[in-house]
């Protein structure tokens, strides 16, 4: 690759001191004029001068040729082996085959084409086929006639005819004479050294003097013959003969390469372009430009995040072909070029620009089709060509269907008008139906065909209804107004209609036909002495309606075959839901349609201990019993997950949980130690250990990027600082905590889920006592998660229930459970805060409404006002005994009630025992007030 890039740079600079002069053709348009202009040209010098070649036969090489199979039907010569792995003829043939494949792949990208669209060039169009043949003829030269097997021979260059065939089939045009298949350039390097570069052999194939079997094609020859025939033709008059002669002479003049005196330059136009081998090269991290390679997938041991610029993956060109295992970058739909660095234009943007601003050519300006865009702008999308012509030439009015269709000339005028206006509509259909060509690569396929059909049909219907309404309404209004004006009754009619509208009360009509008529009343409190009593009754009805319409369960997502251990959603976008189960399976769920989108059956060996997602929802991370954390690529729109992990991070312990940083490309795993990882490193950035046997869970702070909190089996809650790479504080509880979560709106506070059936909210600035203790669960609490607004959180417990809490209240406000619902191991809020997700041992993932009586459909403005009024009333009378009792009542299973009663009896017995101990204690014993209410027993600095 280093020699290839150096040769490409040398070719680009040859014209700087060349003696040749190139003239410009001002009437042509450049097309496919890239550097180098011919495929495989940059390797001609290396192949012909720096390598020895040996003759072989078709019997020795036919089975080893993969990519060039079908183009090579002759005895070839193979290069001299460069290493011990290339001693066999088959290995040398496969090496040349991979080189031809790489040259083909790179040249197609240089032309702005996606090479993955042409995996079988022998079945493609003439341009793709000519590129394929040229690279095969370049890297598989013909063996010299009569050469014996194994004897040394010389490198036979491709024929001039195959090069000319490529120029014709791909319509290569650089507007000067530099596109020549046979050339010889010299560049003095020193006073005694001259670098000479030659093109292809000046022979037509098939020939023993060159490689290739293409037939030479003639471009302007047919025009020239037609010109001579026209000049000698017998026409009735001399002016007719001259007209035909001029008509055929124009295309011939357009095909000329240059005109003397128009413009002269010393460097060919294609040599002035950027060399695509330099543009698409990949420089490994820490290496110099001399070590650049063309294909990052060809480097063994390179991190997957560095391959393809992180916007794609490496895939074999043809998986079933063992003789060609070279992988290439297959980019994501939004990216292109060999290293996935070029952002594609959006098909959705192009479509809506074509619809709303297509008349002025905005869609073609966006696609960088400059010439056609200016033409479309000047002609206003071809809608006004005929109209402008009529005004300038004849002075007549624009197209008028009612008058023009009465004569043959008028019909022709209307047909021409509609034919010219088709450009605007063709662009709409062309940009929306499929990805289209731009000045570079095709647009990204981000506009679904179903949406295109729906939008196009809707726009057509809207335009038709609008035109019909406007034509009918405008004529009726104009006639009515003209009659009223004729009799002087226009002003009187307006006054009468206004009075009638007020008399009928039409201005108080509702928003819809079924809405209640609006009435106004006097708000004077003296006129409403029983208003508070009525409001109390309305509040009581509102609380009862809340219980009647409380149906929190939405759906159970089935598919896992073992207990659902963990789940995760991206924090900043509506990405799919990722869940992991105890059998090592990962599943990705489409939350829009509540169905499974993709799954990885054996993501880990054993349990999946934890999952998390990056903030943008494009990468997922998981850890399991196989002592590894894995990174997966996610496609949020398609709800897909990669079949294989992009990266694997090994560790010496079984990780218990994993969490992603809120901003940076980092994640943390906990187990025997607390390790902080970076995407691109195989070892942790930081590792914390604080005298405990095992850490249970860890979470990053949402506001402080360097702050980390964790819980451990020694009943501790620890805080760590990544900036100082050290632990900050540690506090011990009576029992261990199974989960921890930071408040996203109050980043200084966090809540832990404890084994003593309670949850504790702490302020990290004062860890000596908990701010709030939340108690309602009757068994150990296993997980906790905050809503995006930070005002409520959800907890999962061993007692088969999910509870919702206000962040500042001690008792839960909702409890969710089901008949077949078993121990709940994990819970999560959706990013919009409207739903709660829970995963339990019964292999199901359940979707609950965060507000039990919430309406899932669209609410009308009247319903929203009524709901706000009811909420105000419930808040106003919340302390009334009957309303408080109804609001607090929950239907809980008998098993949970019995567990709660048993726990209450044990707590009362413990309190009586504590009271008796205090009564009989020695005088002077003081019990700290904080110890009566708080579970804190020790704090360590």
Note the pLDDT tens digit of each residue in 23-50: 888 778 888 898 888 998 888 888 888 7
Residues 894, 821: Cα–Cα separation, whole Å:
14
Q: 224-234 pLDDT, tens per residue?
A: 455 445 444 44
Q: What is the mean pLDDT of residues 778-796?
A: 95
Q: What is the mean pLDDT of residues 335-352?
A: 88
> Does residue 377 belong to any structural domain of this protein?
no
Q: 511-556 pLDDT, tens per residue?
A: 555 666 666 677 788 888 888 899 999 999 999 999 888 999 999 9
Q: Which two tokens mark 557? A: 């997502």
Residue 362 pLDDT > 70, yes or no? yes
CA 486 to chain centroid: 65
In order of 55, 68, 639, the CA distances from 72 in angstroms are 15, 6, 44
pLDDT at position 1, please? 46
Residue 707 pLDDT > 80, yes or no? yes
The sign one gets for the Cα dihedral 225, 228, 234, 240 is: positive
- Which of 116, 141, 167 is the last residue in one of the domains? 167
- The residues facing 697 across adjacent strands are 711
Q: pLDDT higher for 780 or 51?
A: 780
Residue 706 pLDDT > 60, yes or no? yes
What average pLDDT does the chain have? Answer: 80
pLDDT at position 860, please? 84
> Does residue 143 belong to any structural domain of this protein?
yes
> Does residue 121 belong to any structural domain of this protein?
yes
Question: For the stretch 201-224, what's the b/e string if a residue is b when 16 or more beta carbons lie within 10 angstroms of its beta carbon?
Answer: bebbbbbeebbbbbebeeeeeebe
Helical residues (DSSP H) of 488-633, grouped into ranges: 490-504, 531-548
Q: 492-508 pLDDT, tens per residue?
A: 555 655 555 555 554 55
Question: Shortest CA distance to 276 belongs to which of 103, 100, 520?
Answer: 103
Beta carbons of 677 and 700 less than 8 angstroms apart: no
Where residue 931 falls among pLDDT bands split at 50, 70, 90? very low
CA 375 to chain centroid: 34
In order of 496, 520, 524, 859, the CA distances from 508 in angstroms are 19, 10, 22, 21
For residue 830, the domain's CATH number is: 2.130.10.10
pLDDT at position 772, please? 94
Helix (H, G, I), strand (E, B) or coil at 725: coil
Residues 910, 918: Cα–Cα separation, whole Å:
12
Residue 265: other Cβ atoms inside 10 A: 15
Q: Which two tokens mark 671? A: 């187990």
Provide the terminal-to-terminal Cα distance of the chain, rounded to the nearest Å.
58
In order of 8, 695, 734, 807, the CA distances from 758 in angstroms are 70, 20, 12, 14
DSSP string covering 555-588: EEE---SS-EEEEE--SSS-PPEEEEETTS-EEE
Q: What is the mean pLDDT of residues 175-186?
A: 83
Where residue 199 falls among pLDDT bands split at 50, 70, 90? confident
Residue 72 pLDDT > 50, yes or no? yes
> Picking from 253-257, 415-419, 546-550, 781-785, which range would have the lowest pLDDT averaged per residue?
253-257
Please give the backbone phi and psi of residue 807, each rounded to the nearest 5 degrees, phi first.
-60, -25
Q: pLDDT higher for 901 or 365?
A: 365
- Which of 167, 182, 200 is the last residue in one of the domains? 167
Beta carbons of 708 and 719 less than 8 angstroms apart: yes
- Which of 867, 894, 921 is the last residue in one of the domains? 894
Q: How many domains does the chain have?
A: 2
Q: 841-861 pLDDT, tens per residue?
A: 999 999 999 999 988 888 888
pLDDT at position 938, please? 45
> Does residue 622 belong to any structural domain of this protein?
yes
pLDDT at position 16, please? 38
> Does residue 266 belong to any structural domain of this protein?
no
Residue 261 pLDDT > 50, yes or no? no
Q: Which two tokens mark 870? A: 């009811």
pLDDT at position 355, please? 84
- Nearby residues of 571 by Cβ (< 8 Å), 6 or more positions away: 613, 615, 662, 831
pLDDT at position 218, please? 52
Where residue 939 falls among pLDDT bands split at 50, 70, 90? very low
HEC letters along 286-345: CCCHHHCECCHHHCCCCCCCCHHHHCEEEEECCCCCCCCCCEEEEECCCEECCCCCEECC
Q: pLDDT higher for 275 or 560?
A: 560
Q: Which domain holds residue 127?
A: 60-78+88-167
Q: pLDDT higher for 666 or 487?
A: 666
Strand residues in 56-106 grouped as ranges (E): 77-79
Where residue 187 falls among pLDDT bands split at 50, 70, 90? low
Where residue 258 falls among pLDDT bands split at 50, 70, 90? very low
Share of the chain above pLDDT 70, in %: 75
Q: Ranked by mean pLDDT, which of 528-542, 714-728, 740-754 comes out on top? A: 740-754
> Does residue 757 belong to any structural domain of this protein?
yes
Q: pLDDT higher for 371 or 652?
A: 652
Residue 189: other Cβ atoms inside 10 A: 9
> Does residue 322 belong to any structural domain of this protein?
no
> Picking from 247-251, 332-336, 359-363, which range would have the lowest pLDDT averaged per residue?
247-251
Q: 103-162 pLDDT, tens per residue?
A: 898 888 888 888 888 888 888 888 999 999 999 999 999 998 888 888 888 899 999 998
Residues 925, 191: Cα–Cα separation, whole Å:
104
pLDDT at position 843, please? 94
Question: Shortest CA distance to 624 belongs to which of 642, 643, 645?
Answer: 645
> Does residue 652 belong to any structural domain of this protein?
yes
Cis amide linkage into residue 206, ω under 30° from 0: yes
Residues 523, 778: Cα–Cα separation, whole Å:
50
Cis amide linkage into residue 540, ω under 30° from 0: no
Beta carbons of 883 and 539 less than 8 angstroms apart: yes
DSSP 8-state class, residue 664: S
Share of the chain above pLDDT 90, in %: 33
Q: What is the mean pLDDT of residues 647-667?
A: 94
Residue 685: other Cβ atoms inside 10 A: 13
Q: pLDDT higher for 394 or 865?
A: 865
Residues 159, 454: Cα–Cα separation, whole Å:
53
- Could you tell me the pTM of the whole model? 0.47
């Amino acid at each position: 690759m280093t020699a290839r890039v150096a040769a490409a740079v040398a070719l680009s600079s040859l014209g700087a001191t060349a003696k040749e002069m190139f003239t410009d053709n001002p009437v042509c348009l450049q097309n496919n004029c890239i550097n180098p202009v011919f495929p495989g040209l940059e390797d001609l010098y290396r192949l012909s001068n720096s390598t020895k070649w040996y003759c072989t036969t078709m019997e020795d090489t036919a089975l080893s040729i993969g990519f060039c199979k079908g183009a090579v039907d002759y005895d070839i010569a193979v290069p001299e082996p460069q290493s011990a792995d290339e001693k066999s003829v088959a290995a040398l043939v496969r090496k040349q085959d991979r080189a031809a494949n790489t040259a083909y792949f790179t040249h197609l990208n240089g032309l702005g084409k996606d090479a993955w669209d042409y995996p079988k060039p022998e079945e493609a169009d003439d341009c793709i086929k000519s590129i394929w043949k040229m690279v095969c003829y370049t890297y598989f030269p013909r063996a010299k006639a009569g050469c014996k097997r194994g004897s040394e021979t010389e490198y036979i260059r491709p024929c001039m005819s195959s090069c000319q065939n490529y120029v014709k089939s791909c319509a290569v045009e650089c507007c000067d004479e530099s596109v020549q298949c046979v050339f010889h350039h010299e560049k003095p390097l020193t006073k005694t050294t001259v670098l000479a570069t030659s093109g292809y052999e000046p022979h037509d194939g098939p020939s023993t003097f060159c490689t290739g079997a293409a037939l030479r094609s003639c471009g302007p020859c047919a025009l020239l013959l037609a010109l001579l025939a026209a000049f000698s033709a017998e026409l009735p008059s001399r002016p007719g003969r001259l007209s035909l002669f001029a008509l055929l002479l124009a295309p011939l003049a357009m095909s000329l390469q240059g005109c003397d005196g128009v413009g002269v330059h010393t460097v060919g136009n294609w040599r002035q372009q950027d060399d695509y081998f330099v543009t698409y090269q990949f420089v490994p991290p820490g290496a110099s430009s001399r070590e650049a390679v063309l294909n990052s997938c060809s480097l063994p041991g390179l991190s997957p995040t560095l391959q393809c610029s992180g916007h794609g993956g490496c895939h074999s060109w043809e998986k079933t072909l063992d003789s060609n295992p070279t992988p290439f970058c297959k980019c994501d739909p939004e990216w292109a070029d060999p290293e996935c660095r070029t952002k594609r234009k959006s098909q959705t943007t192009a479509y809506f620009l074509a619809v709303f601003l297509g008349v002025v050519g905005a869609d073609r300006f966006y696609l960088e089709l400059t010439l056609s865009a200016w033409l479309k702008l000047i002609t206003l999308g071809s809608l006004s060509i005929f109209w402008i012509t009529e005004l300038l030439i004849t002075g007549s009015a624009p197209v008028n269907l009612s008058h023009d269709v009465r004569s043959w000339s008028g019909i022709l005028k209307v047909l021409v008008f509609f034919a010219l206006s088709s450009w605007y509509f063709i662009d709409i259909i062309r940009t929306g139906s499929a990805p289209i060509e731009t000045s570079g690569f095709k647009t990204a396929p981000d506009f679904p065909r179903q949406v295109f059909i729906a939008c196009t049909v809707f726009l057509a219907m809207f335009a038709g209804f609008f035109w019909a309404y406007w034509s009918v309404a405008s004529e009726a209004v104009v006639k009515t107004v003209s009659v009223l004006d004729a009799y002087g009754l226009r002003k009187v009619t307006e006054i009468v209609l206004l009075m009638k509208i007020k008399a009928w009360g039409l201005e108080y009509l509702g928003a819809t036909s079924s809405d209640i008529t609006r009435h106004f009343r006097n708000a004077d409190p003296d006129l409403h002495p029983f208003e508070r009593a009525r409001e109390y009754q309305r509040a009581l009805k509102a609380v009862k309606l809340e219980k009647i319409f409380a149906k929190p369960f939405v759906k159970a997502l089935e598919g896992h075959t073992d207990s659902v251990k963990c789940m995760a959603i991206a924090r900043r976008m509506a990405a799919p839901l990722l869940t992991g189960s105890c059998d090592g399976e990962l599943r990705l769920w489409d939350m829009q349609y509540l169905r499974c989108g993709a799954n990885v059956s054996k993501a880990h060996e054993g349990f999946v201990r934890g999952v998390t997602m990056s903030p943008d929802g494009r990468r997922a991370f998981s850890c399991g019993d196989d002592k590894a954390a894995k990174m997966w690529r996610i496609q949020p729109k398609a709800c897909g997950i990669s079949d294989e992990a992009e990266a694997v991070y090994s560790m010496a312990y079984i990780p218990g949980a994993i969490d992603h940083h809120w901003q940076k490309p980092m994640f943390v795993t906990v187990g025997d130690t607390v390790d902080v990882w970076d995407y691109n490193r195989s070892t942790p950035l930081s590792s914390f250990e604080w005298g405990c046997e095992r850490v249970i869970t860890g979470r990053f702070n949402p506001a402080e990027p360097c702050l980390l909190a964790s819980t451990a089996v020694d009943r501790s809650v620890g805080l760590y600082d990544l900036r100082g790479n050290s632990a900050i504080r540690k506090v011990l509880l009576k029992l261990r905590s199974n989960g921890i979560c930071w408040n996203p709106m109050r980043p200084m506070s966090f809540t832990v889920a404890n084994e003593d059936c309670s949850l504790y909210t702490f302020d990290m600035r004062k860890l000596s006592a908990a701010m709030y203790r939340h108690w309602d669960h009757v068994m150990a609490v296993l997980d906790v998660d905050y809503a995006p607004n930070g005002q409520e959180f959800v907890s999962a417990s061993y007692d088969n229930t999910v509870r919702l809490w206000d962040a500042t209240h001690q008792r839960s406000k909702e409890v969710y459970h089901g008949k077949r619902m078993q121990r709940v191991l994990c819970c999560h809020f959706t990013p919009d805060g409207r739903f709660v997700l829970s995963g339990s041992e019964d292999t199901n993932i359940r979707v609950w409404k965060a507000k039990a009586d919430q309406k899932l459909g669209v609410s009308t403005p009247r319903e929203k006002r009524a709901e706000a009024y009811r909420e105000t009333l419930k808040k106003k009378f919340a302390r009334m005994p009957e309303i408080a009792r109804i609001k607090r009542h929950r239907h809980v299973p008998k098993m949970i009630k019995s567990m709660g009663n048993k726990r209450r009896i044990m707590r009362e017995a413990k309190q009586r025992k504590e009271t008796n101990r205090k009564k009989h204690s020695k005088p002077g014993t003081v019990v700290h007030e904080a110890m009566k209410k708080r579970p804190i027993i020790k704090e360590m600095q």
